[in-house]
Amino acid sequence: MASLLLNVNGDQLEVTAPDHWTLLEVLRYRLGLTGSKQGCDKGDCGACTVQIDGEPQLACLALATLCEGRAITTIEGLMPAHLRAGGKGPDPLQDAFDRCGALQCGFCQPGMLLSAKALLERSPDPSRDEIRHALAGNLCRCTGYTQIFQAVELAAAEAQGRAPTPPAWHPDGNPWMPACSKAPAKGESR
């Protein structure tokens, strides 16, 4: 049993864990951060994706003891970081996932968001191909990915201050509900 000093979502946390515990196990079973999901537990599914020093990596294949001194961001850290930066409500990317219905069961979503968030940070206006490649390590059994790609495109477009390109199938232009951080107009449902 070793004492570890981990930087999780901006907090310095001291936890004890044996050397053979993965970062995912420490996050879920020591720190109670169950947003990072335990799926295949062997690097296939991407449900455990967290950011380590800003890069999406797999918490199920990272030994916690080797993560000391590195900045770890989990899904629980996205909204607080957005609020600390002066934003309102959830992170705009989370909001876009919500508005696009980019999930069904939601199991892949924390990992998807952390992969997509890192993509938008290095490439603020990514092409559909870039999005596909950036999310290639995050498997989704429900959505067929289309709405996930649209959510990333929506968040990117809004961050650039332009209207998102509506999907070709939609007859009335922008099908998305307004952003969470904006007050709904009278009579508008959310």
Partner 1 sequence: MLRLPKTRVAKPTTVAQAVALLVEHGEVAMPIAGGTDLLPNMKHGLFEPEVLVALGGIKELQRFELQTDGTLILGAGVSLDRIAADERVQRTAPALAQAAGLVAGPQLRRMGTLGGNVMLDTRCQWYNQTHFWRQALGYCLKKDGTVCHVVAGGKKCVAAASNDTAPTLMTLQATLVFEGRSGRREVAIDDLWHTDGIHNKKLGTDEILVEVRVPPRATGHRGAYGKLRERGSIDYPMLGVAARLDVGRDGAVEGADLVLVALQARPVRVRRAAELLIGVPSSGDNFAEAVAAVAEAAYAQAHPMPNIPGDHEWRREMVPVYVARTLHAAATGTGPVHHV
Question: Which residues face 3 on adjacent strands?
Answer: 16
Complex with partner 1: residue 135 or 180, whichever CB lies closer: 135
The least CB distance from residue 147 to partner 1, in Å, is 18
Complex with partner 1: residue 15 or 63, whichever CB lies closer: 63
Cβ–Cβ under 8 Å, residues 52 and 72: yes
The beta-strand segments (E) located in 69-186 are: 71-73
**HSE-up of 65 (CA within 13 Å, CB side)?**
9
Told to check if 22 binds partner 1 by CB under 8 A, we report yes
Told to check if 47 binds partner 1 by CB under 8 A, we report no
The least CB distance from residue 64 to partner 1, in Å, is 10
The beta-strand segments (E) located in the chain are: 2-8, 11-17, 49-52, 55-58, 71-73
- Among 27, 36, 46, 99, which residue sits at the site for partner 1 (rule: CB under 8 A)? 46
Complex with partner 1: residue 42 or 190, whichever CB lies closer: 42
- Among 5, 83, 105, 136, which residue sits at the site for partner 1 (rule: CB under 8 A)? 136
Complex with partner 1: residue 32 or 161, whichever CB lies closer: 32
Length of the chain, in residues:
190
**What is the phi/psi pair of residue 189, to 5°?**
-95, 155
